[in-house]
Amino acid sequence: MNCWGGWLLCMTVRPADWQKPSMTEPASDRPPRRPRYRGKNPRHFHEKYKEHQPDRYAADVAKVLASGKTPAGMHRPVLLNEILACLAPKPGDVVLDCTLGYGGHARELLAAIQPGGKLLCTDVDPVEIARTEARLRGLGYPDDSLIVRRMNFAGVVKFIEAESPGGVDVMLADLGVSSMQIDDPARGFSFKFDGPLDMRMNPGRGTSAAALLAQLDEDSLARILSENADEPHPLEMAQQILLAQSHDPITTTRALVDVVSAAYDRYPRQFAGSSEVGVRRVFQALRIAVNDELGALSALLRNIAYCLKPGGRLAILTFHSGEDRRVKLAFKEGLQSGIYSSISEEVIRASPEEQRANPRSCSAKLRFAIRAFEPDLDIGD
Ligand SMILES: C[S@@+](CC[C@H](N)C(=O)[O-])C[C@H]1O[C@@H](n2cnc3c(N)ncnc32)[C@H](O)[C@@H]1O
């Protein structure tokens, strides 16, 4: 059985997605009623009841995976073997997974550090973190070998101070959003499905993308489009978006797609190329701004020396140039200043096979660093 086969067996139902059983029958004996949908096959995220219940429909989910798609409600770990090779986790290690997500990397790290190891995990997403923790606990490792905390990794030093005061042996950050977040229209990340224009990884905190658009002036929006997504015509795109916003507030993902696509139709010489590429850039730029992703990454990069034990190993997986530039520079500076004894010379990319099997791996770039034994920094300095 491959690693996904084993994982499928211990996955949980997403109870919030299903209709409750009737009051007259014993709830525990009846499978949840499947959602109603038009046509022969479910097309929308919440209708895909088989994919949301991989324990019950393992064969159907395996078929979806084999076709190169990510089943609804699941995330496939990117560059898993390469990350394990860089990090070389061993029994007894303390490991920090800053971006728990679906737990695909965490699951393998947890297995590799048994017996005696401890896996610390953080994630900002309150919706997915409980499901993932339940799946990991279902694997049957000792209770105290897993500690999951909902928090932003920007503040991870305090978590490590409390749980592993000497620092950790291994650290992983797999940046960006999970497939569960992107694919669920209700989370408002996707330009493919209509939903509220939200994009918050933690929907209970901060400002949604719709509220952010309502606050921004042209220059600020242009800066976001340029810095977060390398938009080639940031000011012109910002003008088009805010002009539409002034007529009718943009509150849904579909409305934002329509505004960007209309700009491409109206000014084909200015916005040359595919409007889908332009839409992707606008969505990426707003998502990064809404979640202050680059601010959190910079804070993490500043704190790593205080998190890793001497000789500890770190891997960071990025998905766009703005992130990778920051990681590359921080690693280079850390090597020069003696914080790291070695860093990856080149980025590691997904193999053609992985890119074919999981298109989301195409833009992934992996870098790693090893903490030097000197200088001796105390955590919390
Ligand atoms: C690409 S997914 C990680 C997937 C995971 N490695 C797996 O195998 O399932 C990124 C996750 O990081 C979380 N995340 C992003 N930025 C974060 C931050 N600043 N602090 C904590 N979690 C963050 C997201 O909520 C998301 O769940």
Q: In whole angstroms, what is the distance from residue 97 CA to residue 108 CA? A: 11
* Separation of CA 150 and ligand 1 centre (Å): 11
Instruction: Identify the sign of the CA torsion 103, 75, 63, 42.
Output: positive
What does the pLDDT read at residue 65?
A: 76
pTM for this entry: 0.86
The atom of ligand 1 lying closest to the CA of 178 is 2
What does the pLDDT read at residue 272?
A: 80
Q: Point out the residues of the chain with pLDDT beneath 50.
A: 1-27, 379-381
Q: In whole angstroms, what is the distance from residue 181 CA to residue 189 CA? A: 7
List of domains in the chain: 3-66 (no CATH), 80-179+293-371 (3.40.50.150), 202-290 (1.10.150.170)
Ligand 1 neighbours (beta carbon < 6 A): 75, 77, 99, 101-105, 122-125, 128, 152-154, 174, 176-178, 201, 296
What does the pLDDT read at residue 56?
A: 74
Q: In whole angstroms, what is the distance from residue 174 CA to residue 79 CA? A: 10
Q: What is the amino acid identity at position 55?
A: D
What does the pLDDT read at residue 52?
A: 79
What does the pLDDT read at residue 234?
A: 96
Q: How confident is the model over 272-321, as pLDDT tens digits?
A: 888 999 999 999 999 999 999 999 999 999 999 889 999 999 999 999 99
* Separation of CA 169 and ligand 1 centre (Å): 20
Helix, strand, coil percent values for the chain (each to nearest 5): 45, 15, 40
Instruction: Identify the sign of the CA torsion 341, 346, 350, 353.
Output: negative
What does the pLDDT read at residue 26?
A: 42
Q: Per the structure block, which two tokens stand in for 226? A: 């340029």
Q: Per the structure block, which two tokens stand in for 57? A: 């429909």
Q: Per the structure block, which two tokens stand in for 250? A: 């943009």
Q: In whole angstroms, what is the distance from residue 118 CA to residue 164 CA? A: 9
The atom of ligand 1 lying closest to the CA of 99 is 12
Q: Whose CA is nearest to atom 27 of ligand 1?
A: 101
Q: In whole angstroms, what is the distance from residue 294 CA to residue 81 CA? A: 26
The atom of ligand 1 lying closest to the CA of 97 is 6
Percent of the chain at pLDDT above 90? Answer: 75
The atom of ligand 1 lying closest to the CA of 122 is 21
* Separation of CA 235 and ligand 1 centre (Å): 31
Hey, is 308 helix, strand or coil?
A: strand
What does the pLDDT read at residue 229?
A: 95
Q: Whose CA is nearest to atom 20 of ligand 1?
A: 152
Q: Of the residues 70, 97, 99, 159, which should be mutated to test ligand 1's pocket, given the most ligand atoms within 8 Å of the CB? A: 99
Q: H or E stretch including 369?
A: strand 365-371
CB atoms within 10 A of CB 303: 18
CA distances from 374 to 16, 19, 96, 168 (A): 50, 58, 21, 16
Q: Of the residues 96, 100, 288, 362, which should be mutated to test ligand 1's pocket, given the most ligand atoms within 8 Å of the CB? A: 100
The atom of ligand 1 lying closest to the CA of 80 is 8
Residues ≥6 apart with Cβ < 8 Å to 380: 157, 161, 306
Q: How confident is the model over 331-377, as pLDDT tens digits?
A: 999 999 999 999 999 999 999 999 999 999 999 999 999 999 865 55
What does the pLDDT read at residue 188?
A: 96
The atom of ligand 1 lying closest to the CA of 102 is 9
The atom of ligand 1 lying closest to the CA of 128 is 27
Q: In whole angstroms, what is the distance from residue 166 CA to residue 94 CA? A: 10
C-beta of residue 185 within 8 angstroms of C-beta of residue 253: yes
Percent of the chain at pLDDT above 70? Answer: 87
Closest by alpha carbon to 210, among 218, 220, 199?
199
* Separation of CA 363 and ligand 1 centre (Å): 16
Q: In whole angstroms, what is the distance from residue 197 CA to residue 251 CA? A: 5
What does the pLDDT read at residue 2?
A: 41
Q: Whose CA is nearest to atom 8 of ligand 1?
A: 104
Rg of the chain taking only CA atoms, in angstroms: 22
* Count helices and strands in the chain by DSSP H and E runs: 15, 7
The atom of ligand 1 lying closest to the CA of 78 is 8
β-strand 94-97 against 168-174: which pairing, if any?
parallel
Q: Of the residues 78, 80, 123, which should be mutated to test ligand 1's pocket, given the most ligand atoms within 8 Å of the CB? A: 123
Q: In whole angstroms, what is the distance from residue 321 CA to residue 288 CA? A: 12
What does the pLDDT read at residue 4?
A: 46
Q: In whole angstroms, what is the distance from residue 299 CA to residue 292 CA? A: 11
* Separation of CA 124 and ligand 1 centre (Å): 7
* Separation of CA 360 and ligand 1 centre (Å): 14
Burial of 372 (0-12, 13-18, 19+ CB in 10 A): buried
C-beta of residue 156 within 8 angstroms of C-beta of residue 123: no
Closest by alpha carbon to 175, among 320, 70, 306?
320
What does the pLDDT read at residue 212?
A: 98
The single-letter DSSP state of residue 360 is G
